[in-house]
């Protein structure tokens, strides 16, 4: 049996969750934007107490591994590493966009050739993006993406779901397109990491607590993304 603490801090709003064998027990979300440093540990303490869990009960800690906010990721990963080090338990890294895509699939009920594109805001008309099919297979790795009116042209024959803090930038351009669906729910949540982290826990896919660092993102390179299976 596993009892995992999940920490999500890739965006302005941070959250924490507890899961047992991959199933969500409870999630708490800090409503104050970019207050990670002052709210994360009290939030975790409250979460454990509300579920009658003491730190020694934890089997592992999962953290959002990026890309995303430099400050948010640094605080979340440092907190997770500190807990793991003090308890002697493993650290699990879950990609920020991967967990967001998991949430998108749960909410959208995507099927067939549907495409899930989670987006994390970067700056100007830029976002960190990843591309997943309806089975959560990654068809293109997480990448910086410069968005414009032609960004989704090559996906015209597929139903495309967009979500995340970076999706707002595309609404003005694509809100009337019949094949494009914007999901307004917050997808950057610790709850959506539960199943993914449990899979890694079962596979003993752990990070080095001393040396692990999150993926803060790379320099932006203009150009359209190339998707496997698309011409």
Of 227 and 206, more confident: 206
* One fold for 3-95+188-202 and 97-182: yes
CB 128 within 8 A of CB 143: yes
- What is the dihedral sign for C-alpha 145, 150, 156, 161? positive
User: pLDDT at residue 60 above 70?
Assistant: yes
Helix (H, G, I), strand (E, B) or coil at 138: strand
CB 108 within 8 A of CB 183: yes
What pLDDT is stored for residue 116 in this prediction? Answer: 95
**Tens of pLDDT, residues 174-194:** 877 888 899 988 899 999 999
> How far, CA to CA in Å, does 57 sit from each of 51, 87, 108, 191, 195?
11, 9, 34, 19, 19
Kindly report which listed range (61-65, 105-109, 149-153) carries the lowest average pLDDT score.
149-153
What's the rounded Cα separation, in Å, for the pair 159 and 7? 31
> How far, CA to CA in Å, does 200 sit from each of 51, 84, 122, 130, 227?
23, 16, 28, 20, 26
Find the mean pLDDT for residues 187-210: 97
Find the mean pLDDT for residues 101-122: 90
Task: Name, in order, each residue with C-beta under 8 angstroms of 69's C-beta and a sequence gap of 6 or more.
Answer: 9, 10, 11, 12, 34
- For 97-182, the fitting CATH number among 3.30.70, 2.40.50, 3.30.420, 3.40.50 is 3.30.420
Find the mean pLDDT for residues 170-176: 80
State the pLDDT confidence band at 226, using cuts at 50, 70 and 90. very low
User: pLDDT at residue 229 above 50?
Assistant: no
CB 63 within 8 A of CB 94: yes
CATH superfamily of 3-95+188-202: ATPase, nucleotide binding domain (3.30.420.40)
What pLDDT is stored for residue 228 in this prediction? Answer: 42
- Give phi and psi for 80, each to the nearest 5: -60, -45
Find the mean pLDDT for residues 6-18: 95
Structure tokens that stand for 150 in this block: 């032609």
- The full set of domain ranges for the chain reads 3-95+188-202, 97-182
**Percent of the residues in the chain that have a pLDDT greater than 90, as a whole number:** 62
User: pLDDT at residue 230 above 60?
Assistant: no
What's the rounded Cα separation, in Å, for the pair 139 and 75? 30
State the pLDDT confidence band at 34, using cuts at 50, 70 and 90. low
What pLDDT is stored for residue 79 in this prediction? Answer: 97
Kindly report which listed range (70-79, 86-95, 106-115, 205-214) carries the lowest average pLDDT score.
106-115
Structure tokens that stand for 21 in this block: 């064998």
User: pLDDT at residue 92 above 80?
Assistant: yes
Q: Record the pTM.
A: 0.88
Longest dimension (CA), the chain: 53
Coarse DSSP helix, strand, coil percentages of the chain, rounded to the nearest 5 percent: 30, 25, 45
């Amino acid at each position: 049996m596993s009892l995992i603490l999940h920490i999500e801090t890739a965006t302005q709003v941070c959250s924490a969750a507890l899961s047992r064998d991959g199933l969500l027990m409870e999630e708490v979300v800090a409503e104050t934007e970019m207050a990670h440093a002052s709210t994360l540990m009290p939030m975790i303490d409250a979460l454990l107490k509300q579920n009658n869990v003491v730190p020694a009960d934890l089997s592992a800690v999962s953290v959002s591994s990026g890309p995303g906010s430099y400050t948010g990721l640094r605080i979340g990963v440092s907190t997770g590493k500190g807990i793991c080090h003090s308890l002697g338990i493993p650290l699990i890294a879950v990609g920020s966009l991967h967990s967001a895509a998991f949430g998108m699939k749960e909410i959208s009920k995507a099927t067939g050739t549907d495409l899930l594109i989670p987006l994390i805001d970067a700056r100007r008309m830029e976002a960190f993006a990843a591309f997943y099919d309806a089975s959560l297979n990654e068809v293109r790795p997480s990448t910086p993406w410069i968005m414009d009116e032609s960004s989704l042209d090559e996906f015209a024959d597929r139903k495309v779901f967009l979500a995340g803090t970076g999706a707002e930038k595309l609404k003005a351009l694509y809100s009337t397109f019949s094949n494009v669906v914007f999901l307004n729910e917050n997808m950057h949540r610790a709850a959506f990491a539960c199943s993914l982290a449990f899979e890694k826990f079962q596979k003993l896919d752990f990070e080095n607590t001393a040396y692990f660092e999150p993926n803060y993102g790379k320099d932006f390179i203009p150009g359209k993304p190339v998707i496997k299976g698309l011409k």
